[in-house]
Chain A
Amino acid sequence: MKKTFKLEGLDCANCAAKIEHGVKALDGVSSATVNFMTTKMVIEGDDTKFEEIEKAAMAIAKRIEPDVVIKKA
């Protein structure tokens, strides 16, 4: 399954890289990218684990960039 999220208020490129790195390392994620310029996060991963992946990814984004608002795109 592949899903795109919008990270509104993503202001720091280094944080984008950190979020990407963190989400990539999650169990069940086959690929993850955070595009700083379009402020989009694309996650590809196991269908069965996707709900957990989504929660964990949001937690990572919130931890690294507390000001970011995550929306489903």
Chain B
Amino acid sequence: MKMNSNQKRLLKIIVGASAYAAGIVFKVDERVTLAVFLVAFLIIGGDVVLRALKNISRGQIFDENFLMSIATIGAFFIGDYAEGVAVMLFYQVGELFQSYAVNKSRKSIASLMDIRPDYANVQRGEALERVDPDEVRLDEIIVIKAGEKIPLDSVVVEGNSTVDTSALTGESLPREVSQGDVLLSGCININGLLTARVIKEFGESTVSKILDLVENASSKKSNSENFITIFARYYTPGVVIVAALLAVIPPLLIEGAAFSDWLYRALVFLVISCPCALVISIPLSFFGGIGGASRSGILVKGSNYLEALSKTEIVVFDKTGTLTKGVFKVQDVVPVGIEKEQLLELTAYAESYSNHPISLSLKQAYGREIDASRIKNVEEIPGHGVLASIEGKDVAAGNSKLMKKLAVDLHEPEGAVGTIVHVAINLTYSGYIIIADELKEDAVKAIRDLKEERIRQTVMLTGDAKLIGEKVAGQLGMDKVYTELLPADKVDKVEALIAAKSAKGKLTFVGDGTNDAPVLARADIGIAMGGLGSDAAIEAADIVIMTDEPSKVAAAVKISKKTLGIVKQNIALALTVKAAVLILGAVGIASMWAAVFADVGVAVLAILNAIRMLNVKKLG
């Protein structure tokens, strides 16, 4: 039977512990006892001592192995054989626990990132070959069977199916796909058989980009991590120096002080001189937070951004495409002297030659085929509207300027928000149609959730008219709105808001990532929406929300606060326990047992605490 390293370790611990127990129970002769304890020590800690010696030969002093060896061998010299063995025993048990905990969290992380496709079925000649996704070239035809992962970004050429995008977006509702639809790698084909043409090589495909982003996110370190790195560099040498002084100076200065007593206290110091608890658990917490967020469809590009997000004071939203759908829709049809349906029909016909979003929304509201033969003499007047003759009727559709130009008396609606299309038939005013952008379903929730996360201020920026902007902001309950802004004005406004906030607070800007790159860059944290399939958004932002839901902003804030909470708990736990044991050890109260707990015990507790972050997907 082949044992893995942890099983070997466990066996050694059990055998060594038995020898240790034998040494305690059978107290025959001093020399025999020493021999038994020495054997127990070598079984349990032989590898630690060996590694320490090897490392010294390579010029690596002051590592954990060396410090533990000195501490335990020192205990033997003082005559505390039993304690020397016990401390090594507990150290090894703690290391074993730590190793289990690290393995467990590595597995959880691996499963979080288990979106990488293993193979692609590619059509080459007559045969269907199963190859590594890396080997598939552009424009090759791949086949995705039910239950398989989509290996590369591709376009459906044949077949219908539903795909599960939850691994990328956190969205549990499956998406219907058919011919012409884009398939994103990393999604799972649920039922149908799909044949698709590859549009991006594997390295450029969505799944590779996401994995790359999440794995490399830890290279952008947070302030907490930088603190730990620096702390770790000075902590160990510092403690060792203090330990050396503690062993030498008091016995010289204090009369009657026993050297062995002070040496023991110094050994206690050595046992807790590894900063492992912090070094493992802090990056692990951030990693878990970033991994969990990615499962909810929120890609965070660095630990630093996750940390900054928890300090957000102001959240600034762009309006169109972020809080609203960015799609125009007919909101109201108000006829004067004719039927509602007829007004809509004639307007849709008159506007049918244009591809302007307004015309498209009219056509959509009309909902029937446009019979082009019914329209004659279409004339567009730029900045005004359109004139057309439809089955003998002279239809004019456009803004109030057009009506004035035609000398038609119009009825200007009060309090209407949106773009208004006035219509005159044979130079008689016949009513108007209001077209406006729609709020996203979760826009109200997005702002409410942010308030619940104690964000001090929510602000909307828009290029739209004052009336429209203020109405939308009012519906959402936002604190401030700035309207009629040109793209450059948005940067100025964000700068003014940054200047006005408190020094520690951060400003987060949320946009759709297509034309607000300067603002995304200027804000402390830039969040782009709708990142799925949009390289521009992924490029420009610090945090990317894969779906179109603005409510994910609050979810991201929540995840960041939870991560930082755990980080702070772990730092406080480790520093307090270590400081306490160091002080108690110096005055001779804390034993080596306490020191072992402060070392490996705290490390295990901190790792277990950090692992909680890996369950974060339930939050999103």
Which residues of A are in contact with B by a Cβ distance under 8 Å? Answer: 11-17, 21, 31, 33, 35-40, 42, 63-64, 66
Contacts and interface: CB of A to CB of B under 8 A. Distances in A.
A13 B106 contact: no
A31 B99 CA distance: 28
A35 B280 CA distance: 10
Given A14-B274, A17-B232, A63-B60, A36 B280 contact: yes
B60 A33 contact: no
A66 B287 CA distance: 26
B218 A13 contact: no
B438 interface: no
A63 B215 contact: no
Interface in B69-105: 99, 102, 105
**Interface range for B:** 20 to 34
Given A37-B284, A38-B109, A66-B54, A14 B279 contact: yes
Interface in B30-64: 51, 54-55, 58-60, 63-64
B64 A12 contact: yes
A37 B59 contact: no
A72 to B, nearest CB: 15
B279 A42 contact: no
Contacts of B279: 13-14, 16-17
A14 B218 contact: no
Contact of A33 (B54, B219, B232): B219
A39 B215 CA distance: 10
A66 B283 CA distance: 23
Nearest to A59: B58
A17 B60 contact: no
A35 B215 contact: yes
7 contacts: A13-B283, A14-B279, A35-B218, A35-B219, A35-B287, A37-B287, A63-B59
A18 B106 CA distance: 20
A64 B229 CA distance: 17
B190 interface: no
A36 B225 CA distance: 13
Given A12-B64, A37-B284, 10 more contacts: A12-B276, A14-B63, A14-B276, A21-B229, A33-B218, A35-B283, A37-B106, A42-B216, A63-B58, A66-B58
With most chain B CB atoms within 10 A of its CB, the pick from A11, A12, A42 is A12
With most chain B CB atoms within 10 A of its CB, the pick from A15, A38, A42, A64 is A38
Nearest to A32: B219
Interface in B194-221: 215-216, 218-219
A21 B233 CA distance: 10
With most chain A CB atoms within 10 A of its CB, the pick from B51, B219, B284 is B219
Contacts of A36: 280, 283-284
Contacts of A37: 105-106, 109, 218, 283-284, 287
A17 B229 contact: yes
A31 B219 contact: yes
B274 to A, nearest CB: 7
B513 interface: no
B58 A13 contact: no
B431 interface: no
A35 B109 CA distance: 12
Nearest to B229: A17
A35 B283 CA distance: 9
Given A17-B232, A37-B287, A63-B58, A11 B276 contact: no
A41 B79 CA distance: 45
A20 B282 CA distance: 16
Contacts of A38: 106, 109, 215
A47 to B, nearest CB: 19
Nearest to B54: A66
B275 interface: yes
B64 A14 contact: yes
A14 to B, nearest CB: 5
A14 B274 CA distance: 8
Nearest to A4: B215
Contact of B276 (A13, A33, A64): A13
B394 to A, nearest CB: 67
A63 B208 CA distance: 33
Contacts of A35: 215, 218-219, 283, 287
A14 B275 contact: yes
A63 B218 CA distance: 24
A17 B274 CA distance: 13
Contacts of A13: 276, 279-280, 283
Interface string B225-236: 000010011000
A11 B97 CA distance: 12
B141 to A, nearest CB: 30
Interface string B253-276: 000000000000000000000111
Contacts of B60: 63-64
A12 B102 CA distance: 10
Contacts of A21: 229, 233
Contacts of B55: 66
A43 B209 CA distance: 18
A5 B54 CA distance: 25
A35 B279 CA distance: 12
A4 to B, nearest CB: 9
Contacts of A64: 60
Contacts of B99: 11
Contacts of B287: 35, 37
Contacts of A12: 64, 276
Contacts of B105: 37
Contacts of A63: 58-60
Interface in B473-519: none
Nearest to A64: B60
Contacts of B215: 35, 38, 40
A22 to B, nearest CB: 11
A42 B109 contact: no
